[in-house]
Amino acid sequence: MCAFKRLFTGVTLWTWRRSRWISRHGKAVFSSCKPKVCVVGSGPAGFYTAQHLIKGRHDVEVDIYERLPVPFGLVRFGVAPDHPEVKNVINTFTQTAKHARCNFYGNVDVGKDVSVQELQQAYHAVILSYGAEGNRRMGIPGEDLAGVYSAKDFVGWYNGLPSCRELSPNLSCETAVILGQGNVALDVARILLSPTDILKNTDITQPALEALMESKVRRVLIVGRRGPLQIACTIKELREMVTLPGTRPEMMPADFEGVLEALPDLPRPRKRLTELMLKAAVKLPLEEEQERRRKSSRSWGLRFFRSPVLVLPSPDGTRTAGIRLAVNKLQGSGEAARAVLTGNVEDVTCGLVISSIGYKSLLIDPSVPFDSGKAIVPNQMGRVQQSPGLYCSGWLKTGPTGVIATTLNNSFDTARSLMEDMDAGKLDTSAAKSGSQSIRKLLETRGVKPVIFSDWEKIDDVEMRMGESVGKPREKLLTVEKMLQVAWE
């Protein structure tokens, strides 16, 4: 060996040993490799977590894995078609995905195509951000009858989620009942009652638009187990219902007894929301509004103090004919008030029941700790308990609560925890990790071909052009097979 080679080899070996010694003894930040982080899930939680990591550290490399060929999760499949402004966050996510230190790998089903343990071997840290893909069941007789749907599946149907493509809900009835009073419940009610002239200019799927054009639904009741002071929706969503063209509110004034007296002590956001409900429910509207309501052919109403106990079957027992509701009263007050049964029930005739009582996260890999009762991964500030190097963010971390802005803060907290662990030496980043290099080889041996972000951009371009041809912002591809065909052609 020549002198130059001996000198070069010696310096390289010394540098490697020094980096290892320093990482073990915590004397300084000196590493011979870049930290590699894997994010599972490309919805808001996944992208916000990746964004904060990339901005917070100039050496970290982030790979995002997604089960579907397309990114953005609930921004694409959960946000209502008539709320395009909410989807503008996709522009920010796209900047993150195209960053030099970020990669997107769609069409990879973690837990099936590759295990979490295999990801942990390839990355310094793994962040689970795959959201809440399961439905919370009502647990009442008849909920499996035809005509009963979860709000998650119904939303997925009109938003183009491939697994919900064949839902084909029966909209031939006059009355629909939605169980739950959160924003998703109001989204569903609004879509059911919106004039299709409004919907046809959105990215709602063509099959859903055609079904809604033929819909016989003229009345939607939105049912909650507690009272007006505990309703879970935001004022923006309620205002959209109050002003929805061609519809009128249909309330029960008795549900609002004592509410006016409680107004002065309410926090400002809750007070404004309650005032709007009172205006729609009990106050005599101005003459112009009265005339608008008289001309409206459709109606909606909030029903409080009601809990479902039985889906009533049709005479032949094959489909939904109505729902039996238990009448409740409240114990306590404010947010802590509990609904208790009075012993009374009432039956509502309807042909469509949509359960909007919440989503829940599912376990994707048996190696991951999971609290099946709370449907979350047990964690402390995003650090998965008793699993060094494993983190979680989004609804998998907290449960399905809040809006996209809530998820932003939630995800930033997880990213901050991970970076603190790196800085404190609790997460060893001194040893080189293979990252996507070894994972892609592993996937290749298993016949799995990832969709990279430039492949998604082909899908995006086709969908935009399809939409433009019919006067819509986008016409979504509805099957994974079609998505992959476009991505790889």
Tell me what pLDDT residue 334 has: 81
Tell me what pLDDT residue 407 has: 84
| DSSP-derived secondary structure letter, 202 | S
Residues 224 and 262: their CA atoms lie apart, in Å, by: 19
70 domain-assigned: yes
pLDDT tops 80 at residue 349: yes
| Count of beta carbons in the 10 Å neighbourhood of residue 232 | 17
Tell me: do 219 and 308 sit in the same domain.
yes
The confidence band for 252, taking pLDDT boundaries of 50, 70 and 90, is: very high
| DSSP-derived secondary structure letter, 413 | H
SS3 301: strand
Tell me: do 350 and 398 sit in the same domain.
no
- Which pLDDT tens digit goes with each residue over 363-377? 999 999 999 889 999
User: Which of 340, 356, 372 is the last residue in one of the domains?
Assistant: 356
Helix (H) or strand (E) holding 396: helix 395-398
Mean pLDDT of 153-181: 96
The confidence band for 5, taking pLDDT boundaries of 50, 70 and 90, is: very low
Close Cβ partners of 286 (under 8 Å, ≥ 6 residues apart): none
Give percent above pLDDT 70 in the chain: 93
Tell me what pLDDT residue 278 has: 94
Answer for the pair 153, 165: CB distance below 8 angstroms, yes or no: no
133 vs 97, residue with greater confidence: 97
- The angle at the Cα of 160, spanning 159 to 164, to the nearest 5 degrees, equals 105
- Which pLDDT tens digit goes with each residue over 406-455? 788 899 999 999 999 999 999 989 899 999 999 999 999 999 999 999 99
Tell me what pLDDT residue 333 has: 82
Question: In terms of DSSP bridges, do strands 247-249 and 298-303 run parallel, antiparallel, or are they unpaired?
Answer: parallel
Question: In terms of DSSP bridges, do strands 36-40 and 134-135 run parallel, antiparallel, or are they unpaired?
Answer: unpaired
378 domain-assigned: yes
Tell me: do 146 and 272 sit in the same domain.
yes
456 domain-assigned: no
Residues 200 and 184: their CA atoms lie apart, in Å, by: 20
User: Which of 328, 356, 384 is the last residue in one of the domains?
Assistant: 356
Answer for the pair 304, 228: CB distance below 8 angstroms, yes or no: yes
382 vs 332, residue with greater confidence: 382
Tell me what pLDDT residue 227 has: 95
Tell me what pLDDT residue 250 has: 93
User: Which of 419, 435, 451 is the last residue in one of the domains?
Assistant: 451
Residues 411 and 131: their CA atoms lie apart, in Å, by: 12
Q: Which domain holds residue 379?
A: 33-133+361-451
pLDDT tops 60 at residue 4: no
Tell me: do 281 and 427 sit in the same domain.
no
**Which residue is associated with the tokens 């694409």?**
76
Question: In terms of DSSP bridges, do strands 379-380 and 125-128 run parallel, antiparallel, or are they unpaired?
Answer: unpaired
Q: What is the DSSP string of 35-85?
A: -EEEEE--SHHHHHHHHHHHHH-SS-EEEEE-SSSS--HHHHHTS-TT-GG
Give percent above pLDDT 90 in the chain: 80
9 domain-assigned: no
Tell me: do 302 and 374 sit in the same domain.
no
- Which pLDDT tens digit goes with each residue over 173-229? 999 999 999 999 999 999 999 999 999 999 999 999 999 999 999 999 999 999 999
Tell me: do 408 and 312 sit in the same domain.
no
CATH number of the domain that residue 443 is part of: 3.40.50.720
| Count of beta carbons in the 10 Å neighbourhood of residue 160 | 25
Residue 87 structure tokens: 């989807």
Mean pLDDT of 76-105: 96
pLDDT tops 90 at residue 106: yes
Tell me what pLDDT residue 202 has: 97
Tell me: do 147 and 225 sit in the same domain.
yes
Tell me: do 312 and 379 sit in the same domain.
no
- Measured between alpha carbons, how far is residue 314 from residues 143, 148, 322, 354, 436 in Å? 13, 13, 8, 17, 54
Which one, of 90, 88, 74, lies nearest residue 131 by Cα?
Answer: 74
Tell me what pLDDT residue 285 has: 79
Mean pLDDT of 271-293: 89
Tell me: do 182 and 110 sit in the same domain.
no
Residue 98 structure tokens: 């195209």
Domain count, the chain: 2
Tell me: do 244 and 348 sit in the same domain.
yes
Query: pTM to 2 decimals?
Result: 0.89
Close Cβ partners of 251 (under 8 Å, ≥ 6 residues apart): 277, 280, 281, 282, 301, 302
Question: Taking the mean position of all CA atoms in its chain, how far away is CA 140?
Answer: 25
User: Among the listed ranges 30-34, 62-66, 367-371, 471-475, which one has the minimum average pLDDT value?
Assistant: 30-34
290 domain-assigned: yes
Close Cβ partners of 449 (under 8 Å, ≥ 6 residues apart): 107, 443, 488
Residues 65 and 104: their CA atoms lie apart, in Å, by: 6
Tell me: do 170 and 106 sit in the same domain.
no
Mean pLDDT of 326-336: 90
CATH number of the domain that residue 247 is part of: 3.50.50.60
Residue 106 structure tokens: 């769609």
Tell me what pLDDT residue 17 has: 39
Tell me what pLDDT residue 1 has: 40
Mean pLDDT of 298-327: 96
21 domain-assigned: no
The confidence band for 335, taking pLDDT boundaries of 50, 70 and 90, is: confident
Mean pLDDT of 321-347: 93
Tell me what pLDDT residue 404 has: 78
Which one, of 393, 402, 320, lies nearest residue 355 by Cα?
Answer: 320
26 domain-assigned: no
Tell me what pLDDT residue 408 has: 86
Residues 426 and 418: their CA atoms lie apart, in Å, by: 9
248 domain-assigned: yes
**Which residue is associated with the tokens 């006059």?**
174
Mean pLDDT of 281-303: 89
Tell me: do 151 and 268 sit in the same domain.
yes
